[in-house]
Each structure stands twice: as C-alpha cells, then as structure tokens.
Amino acid sequence: MPVDRGRAAQRPAHVRPQMRPGPAEPVADECTRARFERVLTTLCTNARGDVHLDLAELTSFDDTDPVDTAAVAALVRAAELLTAPARLVLHNPPAAVVRVLELTWPDHQARGIVFD
C-alpha cells in the first residue's frame, strides 16, 4: 500500500518535519534518504497536479548525511515522474538545495522544478 494510502492525488503534498504524507509514516522525523526518496516517488507518481514540498527544516538525513547532490538528485528524479504540466514546487528550500540545483541542473525549471 502507498505510504499516503492513495491520497496524494486528492491533495497538494507538503513535506516538512512534523508533517506526514499520510497517517502512518512520518517523513522527516528520523528521516533517512531512502524514506525521503520513497515518499517523493509515491507523491509524484500519484499526483494529478503540482506537488508542493516545504523544505524549510530539511538539513540532513538522520543527522549524519548533509543535504547533498544525491538528495537533490532524488528531487530531480521525482519531478521526472510528474505528468506535464505538473511541477515540483519547492517552498523554503535550504540554500544548499538551491545551489546544487542551479549548478548541477541549470535546466531544473524545464525539468519541472520551481521555487516558491
């Protein structure tokens, strides 16, 4: 069963610490990169419109791995799962996420990733 119990298509997806994509699994409390990627994949696969992510408090995974190119690559892969014209809208992204996207994926807007 999907992490969000099939509700992703019914609401915008906001992912931030203290919020859950569904009633069963927290996203960022003790979040691992694998869980982050699973949640992103589920949200973007099931979305029928823009997916909104609030990344204000995202700084690391399990307080060990900094947000790095691999974590940002997960955002890019997730955005590629969306059906156009849907976009992955990043709210309050950490400076590291913005920097990596702009340097590594300068075409991030064409890939469907925008900042709000």
Tens digits of residue pLDDT in 54-86: 988 776 665 555 667 888 899 999 999 999 899
72 touches 113 (CB < 8 A)? no
Residue 1 lies in a domain: no
Domain membership of residue 41 (yes or no) is yes
Domain count, the chain: 1
Domain assignment present for residue 18? The answer is yes
**Domain assignment present for 2:** no
Tell me the per-residue pLDDT of 14-48, one tens digit each, with 9 for 90 and over: 444 333 343 334 444 556 778 888 989 999 998 98
Q: Is residue 28 part of a domain?
A: yes
10 Å Cβ neighbour count for 61? 20
Q: Is 83 inside a domain boundary?
A: yes
User: What is the span of the domain harbouring residue 100?
Assistant: 8-115
Question: pLDDT value at position 28?
Answer: 46
pTM over 0.85: no
Structure tokens at 82: 């969306």
- Residue 88 in this model has a pLDDT that exceeds 60: yes
Residue 53 lies in a domain: yes
